[in-house]
Amino acid sequence: MRKGIYILPNSLTMCGMFAGFYAILAALRGDYVPAAWAIMIAVVFDGLDGWIARLTNSTTRFGIELDSLSDLVSFGVAPAVILYKWSLLKFGRIGWAAAFLFVACGALRLARYN
């Protein structure tokens, strides 16, 4: 790992995390289309942060861990909340468990490959 300008890639990672957080808030309001768009925006930021980090020679262990946390929010928790509010809520605890299983699998996958 090399160190260079680390603020830019980490800022992009935080923008992606913000998009995931916004997706959660939008889903809780029942605004599923904006929530889905927010996840797509998170995809863009997720692609940019690593590319910029490599381009500027600023890959760090901190950045790798921050990226995984951002991925968990944007691609684990946010989709699970959207799915739960959109179609699993009517199944009660089973729906809640299914949504949590999605989050847990995402967390385990990210932990495995860090």
Q: Where are the domains of the chain?
A: 7-113
**The residue to which tokens 């989709």 are assigned:** 79
Mean of the per-residue pLDDT values of the chain: 94
Choices 3.30.70.3270, 3.40.50.300, 1.20.120.1760, 3.10.20.30: CATH for 7-113: 1.20.120.1760
> Looking at the predicted structure, is the pLDDT value of residue 5 above 80?
no
Residue 65: per-residue pLDDT: 95
Span 12-32, average pLDDT:
98
55-59, 77-81, 87-91, 97-101: segment of lowest average pLDDT? 55-59
Beta strands in 29-68 (DSSP E): none
Task: Read off the pLDDT of each residue in 35-42 and give the average, rounded to a whole number.
Answer: 99
Per-residue confidence (pLDDT) for residue 1, from 0 to 100: 53
Stretch 41-45: mean pLDDT, rounded?
98
pLDDT tier, 4 (very low <50, low <70, confident <90, very high otherwise)? low
Burial (Cβ within 10 Å: 0-12, 13-18, ≥19) of residue 50: middle
pLDDT at 51 over 90: yes
pTM, whole model, 2 decimals?
Answer: 0.91
Return d(Cα 62, Cα 1) in angstroms, integer. Answer: 11
Q: What band does 67 get if pLDDT is binned at 50, 70 and 90?
A: very high
Measured CA to CA, the distance from residue 40 to residue 43 in angstroms comes to 5
Q: Give the whole-angstrom CA distance, residue 26 versus residue 30.
A: 6
